[in-house]
């Protein structure tokens, strides 16, 4: 008798990969090709397609209607809203098959709002927040808040997605008193308050 899968797969999902972490849930009409790596405790909602050469970390939420193409890496704790669009070819043409997908990286804890479009080859930084309907055509810094078409930075957010207030030229503060320091890569935690939630 074979070993039972440690993840949930809806009867109407088509899953060709065997690399799926414990506690992950895959819902109806999802198609996942062979060669995809999916971490633990992910939730992949209805009507999604995930192509080979995609890596998905732990605790990732992929809402309905998302197609993730080869060359995309999604790190731990990422949220992808409904109908987010990824690309992997800067100059697509019919019947010209892509030999080397352009890599796209969504880093730990980032959130991408519903109906956003992500240009191939960019990096969305740690804990960044892309507002709904954003057209993201350039790299997004760690903890940056971006939205619009094209998406432009509109401020900074913390790990909970709350907008930060500027305190000095390079320091930003959350409502609970956590301090973040601005760097060339975005923000980084500078001073965390203990037990102040």
Cβ atoms of 79 and 43 within 8 Å: the answer is: no
3-state secondary structure of 15: strand
* pLDDT of 195 strictly over 80: no
CA atoms within 13 A on the CB side of 135: 3
Beta strands 85-86 and 117-118 are parallel
What's the pLDDT score for residue 194? 65
> What span, in angstroms and rounded, lies between the C-alpha atoms of 88 and 98?
9
What's the pLDDT score for residue 197? 43
Structure tokens at 26: 């895959």
Residues constituting the chain: 197
Tokens 């050469």: give the residue: 53
Q: Residues 11-27: pLDDT tens digits? A: 999 999 999 999 999 99
Confidence class for position 192, pLDDT limits 50, 70, 90: confident
**Mean pLDDT, rounded, for 113-119:** 98
Tokens 């308050």: give the residue: 193
**Domains of the chain with CATH codes:** 8-91+98-156 (2.160.10.10)
Mean pLDDT of the chain: 95
Cβ atoms of 80 and 98 within 8 Å: the answer is: no
What's the pLDDT score for residue 170? 96
Give the closest residue to 74 by CA, choosing from 46, 99, 42, 101: 42
Higher pLDDT, 195 or 167: 167
What's the pLDDT score for residue 191? 85
Give the closest residue to 53 by CA, choosing from 93, 104, 2: 104
Q: What is the DSSP string of 141-192?
A: -BTEEEETTTTEEEEEB-TTSPBPEE-SSSEEE-TTS-EEEEETTEEEEEEP
Distances (CA, A) of 46 to 91, 135, 157, 192, 193: 29, 23, 29, 38, 39
What's the pLDDT score for residue 193? 72
């Amino acid at each position: 008798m074979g070993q039972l899968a440690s993840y949930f797969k809806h009867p109407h999902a088509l899953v060709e990969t065997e690399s799926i972490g414990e506690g992950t849930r895959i819902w109806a009409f999802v198609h996942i090709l062979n060669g995809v790596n999916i971490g633990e405790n992910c939730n992949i909602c209805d009507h999604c397609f995930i192509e080979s050469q995609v890596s998905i970390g732990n605790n990732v939420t992929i809402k309905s209607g998302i197609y993730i193409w080869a060359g995309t890496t999604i790190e731990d704790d990422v949220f992808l809203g409904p109908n987010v669009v990824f690309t992997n070819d800067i100059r697509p043409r019919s019947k010209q098959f892509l030999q080397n997908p352009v890599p796209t990286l969504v880093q730990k804890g980032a959130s991408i709002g519903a109906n956003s479009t992500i240009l191939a080859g960019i990096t969305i930084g740690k804990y960044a927040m892309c507002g709904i309907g954003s057209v993201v055509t350039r790299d997004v810094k760690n903890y940056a808040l971006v939205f619009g078409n094209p998406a432009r930075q509109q401020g900074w957010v913390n790990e909970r997605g709350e907008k930060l207030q500027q305190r000095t030229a390079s320091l930003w503060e959350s409502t609970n008193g956590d301090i973040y320091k601005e760097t060339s890569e975005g923000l980084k935690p500078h001073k965390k308050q203990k037990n102040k939630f």
